[in-house]
Amino acid sequence: MYNFSSLTNSIHESLSASLSPVMVTVVEWSIIGIVLITFVALSVMGMVYIERKVAAFFQQRIGPNRVGKWGLLQTLADFLKLLMKEHIMARSADKFLFNLAPFIMVIAAFLAIGAIPFALGLHVMDINIGVFYISAVSSIGVLGILIGGWAGNNKYSLIGALRSGAQIISYEISALLSLLVIVVLAGDLQLSAIIESQADGWWIFKGHIPVFIAFVIFLIAGTAETNRGPFDMAEAESELTAGFHTEYSGIKFAMFFLAEYVNLFIIAAVGATVFLGGWMPFHIGNWEAFNSIMDYIPPILWFFGKTGFIIGLIMWFKWTFPRLRIDQLLVLEWKYLLPINLVNLLVVAFIAMMGWYF
């Protein structure tokens, strides 16, 4: 019912009527860039505020409540404070790589968010290898962590960067294998095609127990990939001061902080798209009356509702479970999650071959 293709096509046609093809491309890229930057800035400030309130709830305190109504402007005040802070760099640091690392983190996050379909016809690019593309570009971020931890010439930063590299590279395998479960069932790597395959039901419901197992593993692996608790050994304050970004201050530290929350949104958005139908409404079989009511809810609300649900789960994990040791984390991946994922993928392949799904 709600299709944003007509809006985007009308913008393209109006620009094409008055500008050259090259200028149309430049203007459209500029519009997309401004929209994405604005969306990321607002969404990150919102997620930081919500996480502070979630942490306060679990710790039986109030949380931000002084700057603005209900503390809503506290995150904005913190961001402005970071903008005005002095940039400090160690004399022995590699200046070029030290300055490059946060940009790699942010660029990788923006490359990944560009492939996510927010609603029908509302995405930057709908490529036919969407799942593979997001997995590939999101893995670039670990280079920023490794470079930033090494370039600061600080042993704590280096240890944190090495921990983070081992952690992210390990858990990327489980995250990708859990996504391949849905790729096998849907028969396509394109995110829009995966969403369309869930028109008669989300895969989390019609894919049986193996899909639920894949969803749980994806949540665990996604939490580890974003360096969030209980998998935040790379930023273990009690051991490594601030981990790989110990030497960073001001806007460069804010860029690392921004990339972490953008990656949190990307993990939740991919999980909502692949397992929970993305912007697809909730439908039940042949219940036409119920399904038609669900269709009236705008798809963008479905998408953000599902994404917010997964973000809430990941925040719940962080403020509930204690931090693991690095050896426990790697044992969890290589001895448990990876074998379970491989067996689960074989089971799903057999189910898909036999057609034993709804």
Q: Which domain holds residue 261?
A: 85-354
Token pair belonging to 233: 């050994």
CB atoms within 10 A of CB 193: 14
pLDDT of residue 241: 62
Alpha helices, DSSP H only, in 93-243? Answer: 95-113, 130-138, 141-151, 155-186, 191-196, 203-206, 208-225, 237-240
Three-class SS state of 229: coil
Record the pTM.
0.91
- Give the pLDDT score at 292: 85
Q: How far is CA 323 from the centre of its chain?
A: 21
Residue 23, in any domain of the structure: no
Helix (H, G, I), strand (E, B) or coil at 227: coil
291 located within any domain: yes
Q: What is the mean pLDDT of residues 38-49?
A: 92
Please report whether residue 152 resides in a domain: yes
List, in order, residues 6 or more apart from 99 with CB less than 8 Å away. 252
- Return the pLDDT at 38: 92
The number of domains in the chain is 1
- Residue 21: inside a domain, yes or no? no
> Alpha-carbon distance 333 to 330, whole Å?
5
In a domain, 192, yes or no: yes
* Domain assignment present for 48: no
Confirm whether 57 is domain-assigned: no
User: Does the pLDDT value for residue 285 go beyond 80?
Assistant: no
Closest CA to 235 of 149, 340, 334: 149
- Lowest-confidence pick of 95-104, 120-129, 227-236, 327-336: 227-236
Q: Which two tokens stand for residue 163?
A: 């921990």
Task: Give the pLDDT band of residue 265 (cuts 50, 70, 90).
Answer: very high
180, part of any domain: yes
Cis peptide before 21 (omega within 30 of 0): no
Q: What is the pLDDT of residue 175?
A: 93
282 to 1, 146, 156, 195, 202: CA distances (angstroms): 14, 42, 48, 12, 8
In the numeric block, which tokens belong to residue 92?
Answer: 């022995």
Encode pLDDT of 85-139 as tens digits. 888 888 888 889 999 999 999 999 999 998 999 988 888 888 889 899 999 998 8
**Kind and range of the H or E run holding 80:** helix 74-84
